[in-house]
Structure 1
Amino acid sequence: MKTKTWNLFCFALLLTIFIVGWGQVTANVPNQKAPSQYAKITVVKTNYQGWRDSWVLSNGQVEAVIVPAIGRVMQFRLLDGEGTFWENPKMFGKAPNPKPEKWVNFGGDKTWPAPQSDWTKIMGRDWPPPTGFDSIPLQAKVDGSEVTLISPIDSLYGIRTYRRIRLHPQKPVMTISTTYEKVKGKPKDVAVWVITQLRDPVGVYAALPQASIFPQGYNRQSEELPANLKVENGMLSLTRDPKKSHKIGCDASTLLWVGEKVVVRIDSPREPAVSYPDQESSAEIYTNSAPDAFVELEFLSPLKTLQIGQRIDLTTTYTLLRRTTPNAEEEARKIIGRSKVTQER
């Protein structure tokens, strides 16, 4: 009996040592890389500028503000800095009008179907934009550290849009994946068009490919060209004209907005051997006149004839950087790798 009791005691002691020891071992094992990274990203519901049920994504470096009530990513900013996206203070807290006679500009980042030149034959008007893409609230779906905005089906295009917004776990980077899904109706020739409105800049820049398809490096999309437009050593630059609005298109894959303290870099790689809207433009720059001081950096996907069940996508990546030099052009060339010395050789 004593032997049996002693054996049970020893077994219990060994089992206790094993459990405690295993607990110490597992406690010292570092977490898997992916979960520990994504745990740094927070997704918080908030009231933003009067819009309830908005969402703020943060990775400790940057914040992205998503407002489903108006279907926009309204802000992208450093955690301790001012916003870079332009917002219309006159529209704070207001709801979109599903039957607008006049377009209302909320600001922020949005998507419309391209080409705009097809709107008249599809909608019977050339302005304002299609209702299902611009003038209705969107559904917000939160999945871990990501938020996806989902639209109703636009009655004229038969398309539903998805915008998946996420932050890099360790870098000041936001990525938006925009998808158009053809749900009903006749086939439509369409491209994804992403429009980002940013505050009045010091300058706007585009990294042109070595062999641009445009003889001048761009195509004209307004009666007059933008202020201080220049193409030199692989880089296009311009400024905002407060007196008149202007627009150009180009075949760049990278656009830069340079502010007083920070820079926003937006990337969306151009695809080869495909057809693009707007005179083959994969990127466009629009500058607005007074009183609303903003510019638009825009990217477009290739054109595709969408049939029911088919999709088309465009991914745009936004990087927020602090300025390191007082000269805006030098800053831009350093960021996009268009050194004057390199280009002149």
Structure 2
Amino acid sequence: MPRFNRILSLRLKPDGENLLWNSMEEVFAGWRNYGGSKLLPAPQSAWPKGLWPPHPEPDQLPGTHEFRGKGLLLRMPDSPHYGIRFERLVMLAESEPEIIFQDTMINVSDRPQRWAIREIIQFRNGGEVMIPDGRDGAVPEIRGGESFRPGRETGRIKLAARRERAKAFISSPAGGIGCRLGGVTAWHTLSPEQPVLPRPAGEAPFSIYYCRKYFEVEMVGPEWTLSRGESKTLVHRRRLERQDLIFSP
């Protein structure tokens, strides 16, 4: 939705139930959390203010949109505070219930900028997180997992929150993470062609946060140094599956 620079709906079929949490009333220190999926620069410690909430350009001020081929391009306003602009090309896969995201970060300032792209997506409450093992049998690394009730299925770990507020940081050897709601799982994977580059210090590829209102999954991409006018693109995918189907990361 260009008005909020967010994706506010994720459904297995047009008339299906929206898996994402939305709100027009959630306000914190003047910042409105509309829910859905949004982009912010990472790490937060490098923000000009250093503290939440973020400056408004990435997810509060109106952007523009245009259809590009079979996709929709969302263009956020330039941010003088972060020195960058986000552009987001969203496309449907040809033959599968999968969405392809090409998230681009552009340096619009007159000096080098060093940031990573952080995607934050908020699902409706009541779900559990699924983390697949790696192809070589490597298991995920989880920090803060004591706030969640662990379980095990074939080839994957599942986590359900056991506190009213819970957060964990996850390194997934398969490069993916899923959120199961009812009979549908939304799998999120980094495309295999993405380069393996360092992330900001202290950041994990994925983190999860649970509260009474929503279940949040965050992804942090590689940290890039951009010269004036330079851009970098992070490609990732979100695939919707019924619970009775098998996922191969």
Q: TM-score range by the shorter chain?
A: 0.7 to 0.9
Q: Which runs of 5+ in 1 are unaligned?
A: 1-66, 92-96, 325-330, 338-345
2:15 paired residue number: 80
Of residues 215, 218, 222 in structure 1, which corresponds to 2:142? 218
Could you tell me the TM-score, scaled by structure 2's length? Answer: 0.86
1:250 matched to 2:177: no
Q: 1:126 and 1:211 mapped to 2: Cα distance? A: 39
1:277 matched to 2:214: no
Kept in 2, the 8 Å contact 1:256–1:265? The answer is yes
Amino acid at match of 1:260: G
Kept in 1, the 8 Å contact 2:127–2:215? The answer is no
Equivalent residue runs for 1:153-302 within 5 Å: 153-209=78-134, 210=136, 217-220=141-144, 225-229=146-150, 235-241=156-162, 243-252=164-173, 253-269=175-191, 274-279=197-202, 281-287=204-210, 289-290=211-212, 292=213, 294-302=214-222
What does the per-residue CA deviation read over 1:20-64, in whole Å, with 9 as the maximum and x for residues that have no partner?
A: xxxxxxxxxxxxxxxxxxxxxxxxxxxxxxxxxxxxxxxxxxxxx
2:226 paired residue number: 306
Secondary structure, aligned partner of 2:202: helix
Amino acid at match of 1:124: K
Of residues 231, 243, 246 in structure 2, which corresponds to 1:323? 243
1:106 matched to 2:3: no
Amino acid at match of 1:248: F
Q: 1:312 and 1:298 mapped to 2: Cα distance? A: 19
Deviation of 1:127 after TM superposition, in Å, equals 1.0
- C-alpha spacing 1:251/1:244, structure 2 compared with 1 (3 Å): same
- C-alpha spacing 1:273/1:322, structure 2 compared with 1 (3 Å): closer
What does the per-residue CA deviation read over 1:257-282, in whole Å, with 9 as the maximum and x for residues that have no partner?
A: 11112111111147565211253522
Q: 2:163 and 2:147 mapped to 1: Cα distance? A: 10
Q: 2:196 and 2:32 mapped to 1: Cα distance? A: 37
Could you tell me the TM-score, scaled by structure 1's length? Answer: 0.64
Percent of residue pairs identical: 24
Deviation of 1:75 after TM superposition, in Å, equals 0.5
Kept in 1, the 8 Å contact 2:44–2:50? The answer is no
Equivalent residue runs for 1:21-170 within 5 Å: 67-77=1-11, 78-88=13-23, 90=25, 101-119=29-47, 123-170=48-95
**Bigger relative contact order, structure 1 or 2, given CA contacts below 8 A and separation 6+?**
2
Kept in 2, the 8 Å contact 1:286–1:295? The answer is yes
Deviation of 1:240 after TM superposition, in Å, equals 2.9
Deviation of 1:231 after TM superposition, in Å, equals 7.3
* Aligned-CA RMSD value: 2.7
What does the per-residue CA deviation read over 1:48-98, in whole Å, with 9 as the maximum and x for residues that have no partner?
A: xxxxxxxxxxxxxxxxxxx1111111101122310111112536xxxxx9x
Q: 1:196 and 1:187 mapped to 2: Cα distance? A: 28
Higher strand share: 2
Secondary structure, aligned partner of 1:117: helix
Query: When the two structures are aligned, how many residues end up with a matched partner?
Result: 245
Q: Which runs of 5+ in 2 are unaligned?
A: none
Higher helix share: 1
What does the per-residue CA deviation read over 1:231-287, in whole Å, with 9 as the maximum and x for residues that have no partner?
A: 787633211345223232324411111111211111114756521125352222222
Q: 1:195 and 1:278 mapped to 2: Cα distance? A: 18
Secondary structure, aligned partner of 2:198: coil
- C-alpha spacing 1:181/1:275, structure 2 compared with 1 (3 Å): same
Secondary structure, aligned partner of 2:236: strand
- C-alpha spacing 1:172/1:233, structure 2 compared with 1 (3 Å): closer
Kept in 2, the 8 Å contact 1:247–1:285? The answer is yes
Mark the structure with the bigger radius of gyration: 1
Amino acid at match of 1:262: V
Q: 1:70 and 1:181 mapped to 2: Cα distance? A: 19
Secondary structure, aligned partner of 1:132: coil
